[in-house]
Every structure is written in C-alpha cells, then in structure tokens.
Structure 1
Amino acid sequence: MNTSAEPLRSLWLIDSKIIARRFWLTLALLTVLTLGACSTTRLAYNQAPNLLYWWLDGYMDFSSAQSTQARQDIDTFLGWHRSTELPTYARQLQQWQALAPQDMSPAQACAQFEAVRAAVQRASERGLEPLTRLGQQLDREQMAHLQRHQDKGNQSFAEEYLEGSPEERLNRRVDQAVSRSEMLYGRLSPAQRELVRSGLQQSPWDPQKALQERLRRQSELRQTLQTLQNSPNGTALDASRSYLIRVLQTPTAGYNANSQALVQHGCAQFAALHNTTTTEQRANAVRVLKGYEDDMRALAAQR
C-alpha cells in the first residue's frame, strides 16, 4: 500500500478509505509489503528487513548506534511476524478463496475487513516497545528531520487528492481503484469501471478532513516523541500506548463516525463490484489468492 504516514502510524492504522478502493488486493498485499506477482512477493518479504530499515531511516535519519538497534528490533519483529502471523494470513487467504466464487453481502465484506484490522492491531502491540525505545533516543535534529519528511508527505497527499478539478481528482482515484481491482480480477468491463466511478463519487470521504486529521496526528506524534525523550521506560510505553489509542479512536469530533461510515460504504462498494464479476474473473481471483496463500506458507516455513 502506497500510503505515506508517520512511522508509528504506519504500523497502527488502516485508513478507512482503503477498503473502498482496494479491498481484496489490500488484504493480500498487507501481508507481504509488495504490489508484485507471487514470485515477487517472496523476494519482497525476504528483503523486508532492509526495506523497513531504510523506510524508517528516511523518517528518522538514524545515528550509528540507533541503526544497530533498529536493525536488531526489525529482525526480532519480522521473526515473530514470519512464525506467528504468516500462518494466520495463509489460513485467512484460504478462507477468501472459498468466498471469492460466491456473491457477497456488505456485512460479509466488513467481516473480512475486521480480520485485517485485527492483524494490524496485533502488529501494533508487538511493535510498541521497540518503537517507544527508538522515540526516546531521538535528538532535536532528528525531530526536525521527521517534520520535514512529514511535510513532504503532506505535499504529496495534497497533489494527489486536492489539486486539479473535481473531475481530475475523481479520475485519478478511479484509475487507481480500477488498476488494483484488475490485479485481482483481471480486466474490468466498461460497466464495472462505471460502477467503480459511481461508488467513488458517492463516497463520504472528504480529502480536506482527511488532511486535517493527518496533520493533527502528525503534530501529536511529535508531541508524544518529545514526551518519550523525557520519560522513564514504563511511563514512556504508556505514552506511546495512549497515542495509539488516539490514532485508532481520534478525539476529533465526528471523525470516528465518519470513518465508520467510510468503512460501511467501502464494504458496500466492494460487494457491489464483486457481485458483478464473471465466473472467469472470480476464478482469476481464486488463483491470485491461492498464489498468495502458497507464498505465506513458503515464507513461514523459512527460518
């Protein structure tokens, strides 16, 4: 998923609008950090220690000592993930293969989304302690580096979702959603493409509100990191956990209700598209999901 986010938020949050745009494929790709085919999946996951390190370093600009500790923490986290989470993902992918040939209700789609959200929650809790320890070590220049990186991500967000006419913005979203759907189902028909467009037009997602919430979370992340640098370990961990709670359940008035509305809309949108797919498209989805299941099992078996 090509979503810019704060380092902590990246492990802790699935934006509600994701489900409206890339449901099945997101479920599969969430587990492997890649947008490629099955052979690429295994390669990307095996490269995850380096990819994750360089991604975090881009935000934090690690010192030499921090680099050593970060690599150790990443190896420990991914070792847990490989042995504990990948078998769970494989079983979930097997269930999705059984669902894919059938019509689906919005409630069924939302149940699968909740399974993904639970996986993110488990990873969040697992990563909380090492990320807190890292936050305690950041100096003033690294904090400034983080803010510059956030500002750059916000500029990219604005370019993608706020610039251009309403029609141009919608066309970009439609192109992305169609591309992701076709990676699962194969080529969509003109009627299916129009269904995707219609669903996105009716979406309650507001990019201005999303940007404001994004800015709030970024500001609170920086405040939390400042708190961590002056806190003993136990208190620091509590501060990180408190931040996590406020990411998952924002204090912004009305935003949680809007997020839930986005999830419900996304579930309905996905179900509507899925229910128009042909036997061939559903068979293609089963093959894709089976490929990811095989990858999960092969990767979990590696030590």
Structure 2
Amino acid sequence: MRFPVNFGLLKRDKARPGLRFHHRIIGVLGLLAVAGVLQACSVVKLAYNQAPDLAYWYLDTYLDLTGEQSLQVKASLSQLQAWHRQTQLPVYITALQQLQQQLPSDTTAAAACAVAADVRSNLGAVAQQAESLAAGVAVMLQPGQLRHLAQKFAKTNAEAEDELQGNNGKTRQGKRYRQLLSRAESLYGTLDEPQRAVIARRLEQSRFDLRVLFAERQRRQRDTLQTLQPMAAGQVSPAQAKTALRGLVERTLNPLEPVYRRYLDQLGQENCQSFAELHNSTTPAQRGKAVETLRGYEQDFRILNARTL
C-alpha cells in the first residue's frame, strides 16, 4: 500500500516537478494508483485511468521524446498499468480492509512503521516489473535528450533554491503546518484543538529539513544522468541497461550515504510516532470518518480492478 511520508496515512505529497525523477519513471503508475487515499473518489479513478497519459506527459517534459520513442513509451506504460491493475490493486484492497479494522482502536509507532515497510515493498514490486520496459526505452535515448534532461533539472533546482531562500524558517513552518492539517482532515474530518496541538508540537520537534532533502535530490539527479549517459551513447545492451536501472532504483530506495540513511531512518521513525500520537488523540467520531473514507477508496479500487475481468 502506498502511503505518503508525513504522518504515515495522510495524503499524497504534491512535489514540485523534477523531484525524484527516476522514482516517477519507475513507479508512477503505482504512485498514482494509491495517491488518492484521502482525495475525492472520482479523482482517484480518473487519475488511475489516465495514469499512462500522465506518465507519458511527465517523461516527455523531461526527455523531449521523439516520435518512435513516444510510441514505445506509451505501449510500455499501458503494459505496466495492465499488470498493475490486475496484480497490485487487489493488494491495495486487502490493505484498506485491514486498515479499516485497525482505525477504530489506538495504534503504535511500530504499527505505523509496519505500513511504511509495506510501502517500500510495493514500490519495489512495481520497480521490478518496470525494469525491462524502462530499459527498452532507455537504450533509445539520444545525447541531446540527456542535455535536455540536465537543463530541466537545473531549471527546477533553481526554482527550488529561490523558494528556499525566499521563505524564512517561520514561513516554511507555517506552510507545512497547513499542509499537514489539510492532509489529516482529509482522513479524519475537521480536527479539534487537541489534534491541532499534536501536529503543531510534532512539527516543532521535527528533524525534517528541506535543505537536506534538496541536497539528496541533486545527488539523485547526478546519479540519473551518469546512469543514462552510456545508454544515450549506445554503449550498452538492453540487458545491461536493465541492470544499470535496477541499481539506480536501489540507490534511490536505499541511499548509500550512511549519514543520509540515518537521517531517513530517524525521520521515518519520527513520522510513525507522529501519526500514532495524532491518531490516538482523535475521537470515535473522527475515527469513524476515517474508516468511512478508506471504505470509499476500497470501493474505488474494486471498480478499477473489475475492468480486468
């Protein structure tokens, strides 16, 4: 089950274009499939059914695909969606059913972290399925397209730096509070003062640092360009490209830098604790609302999965 990072079971992060580029290449269908947890049901179904088109648009923005590449990419994305619809949506349905049973009771940080482990597992499954498809497209890349990609990275990085420099710590903190509150209320309905206080206090104590994440984003971009370079130069076979892309995804999901890995582990534990504390502060009515919300998404995924029959 794909859940967002902040507070575990809240809502999709609307990341700026360019963030986690290779994450989106490999996992875009999986992300779109469950990103709608706590969004309008009609939006979930619409986004999922249009996922290949949305993914193609995203890739074309970054790679400026040729006509032949476009045909290959569109066919590959359609294949990936068909596999995902048939094999992964039933997993999401089961996960939603289990969560509905758990939500009326108090929870623990360990339970929230168990959900996060399932997230990583499902991302890995989608990545593995997409390896051959992605490799077939990667070996078609041309040097000019990598230059286009590098320029796109540079542009989005400059925009992100401007935003970081233009907003002081207090402004960023206020923005994050509003985002987290909105996400929580998408699950539980209107929050009262006790729950708002939990969010504010946990946010004040958080290790979350946009600058650390921005530095990792730049590292991933460099890794992406270096990995794709031999492919664009025609120096690797599809099998070699598949192996290289597998390594790229592995380094994305499990960063090699020990300091950053520790940071992610600490942040993940913090998010699990934050969600548990927030959930345990909610009222029976709010938990009932959360169950109702997830039941709606279970029904959505059932409808989407039925299209395979």
Give the TM-score of the pair, scaled to structure 1: 0.89
Please provide the CA RMSD for this pair: 2.1
Instruction: Say which is worse superposed, 162-171 or 114-123, in terms of deviation.
Output: 162-171
Which residue of 2 is the match for residue 31 of structure 1? 33
CA distance 1:6–1:149, shift in 2 (3 Å): farther
* In structure 2, C-alpha distance between the alignment counterparts of 1:56 and 1:133, rounded to whole Å: 14
Q: Give CA-to-partner distance per residue, 1:176-220, whole Å, 9 cap, x none.
A: 111111111111113322211211221112222211111011001
The equivalent position to 2:110 in structure 1, one of 102, 107, 111, is: 107
Which residue of 1 is the match for residue 173 of structure 2? 170
Cα offset, 1:29, TM superposition = 7.4
CA distance 1:155–1:101, shift in 2 (3 Å): farther
Query: Residues 135 and 239 of structure 2 are in contact (CA less than 8 Å); yes or no, is this contact kept in structure 1?
Result: no
- Asked whether 1:290 is paired with 2:295, we answer yes
CA distance 1:153–1:13, shift in 2 (3 Å): farther
The equivalent position to 1:89 in structure 2, one of 87, 92, 112, is: 92
Aligned length: 290
Which residue of 2 is the match for residue 249 of structure 1? 254
* In structure 1, C-alpha distance between the alignment counterparts of 2:190 and 2:42, rounded to whole Å: 21
- Asked whether 1:266 is paired with 2:268, we answer no
CA distance 1:250–1:32, shift in 2 (3 Å): closer
Query: Residues 106 and 271 of structure 1 are in contact (CA less than 8 Å); yes or no, is this contact kept in structure 2?
Result: yes
* In structure 1, C-alpha distance between the alignment counterparts of 2:129 and 2:209, rounded to whole Å: 32
Unaligned runs of 5+ in 2: 1-11
SS in 1 for 2:59: helix
Which residue of 2 is the match for residue 136 of structure 1? 139
- Asked whether 1:195 is paired with 2:198, we answer yes
Q: Give CA-to-partner distance per residue, 1:115-168, whole Å, 9 cap, x none.
A: 111111111111122222222222122112212222333244445555322111
The equivalent position to 1:148 in structure 2, one of 142, 148, 151, is: 151
- Asked whether 1:64 is paired with 2:64, we answer no
SS in 1 for 2:166: coil
Query: Residues 134 and 242 of structure 2 are in contact (CA less than 8 Å); yes or no, is this contact kept in structure 1?
Result: no
- Asked whether 1:226 is paired with 2:233, we answer no
Equivalent position amino acid for 2:63 in 1: M
Unaligned runs of 5+ in 1: 15-27
* In structure 2, C-alpha distance between the alignment counterparts of 1:71 and 1:11, rounded to whole Å: 12
* In structure 2, C-alpha distance between the alignment counterparts of 1:298 and 1:201, rounded to whole Å: 41
- Asked whether 1:8 is paired with 2:22, we answer yes
CA distance 1:40–1:207, shift in 2 (3 Å): closer
- Asked whether 1:215 is paired with 2:218, we answer yes
Equivalent position amino acid for 2:80 in 1: F
The equivalent position to 1:279 in structure 2, one of 281, 284, 288, is: 284
Cα offset, 1:301, TM superposition = 0.7
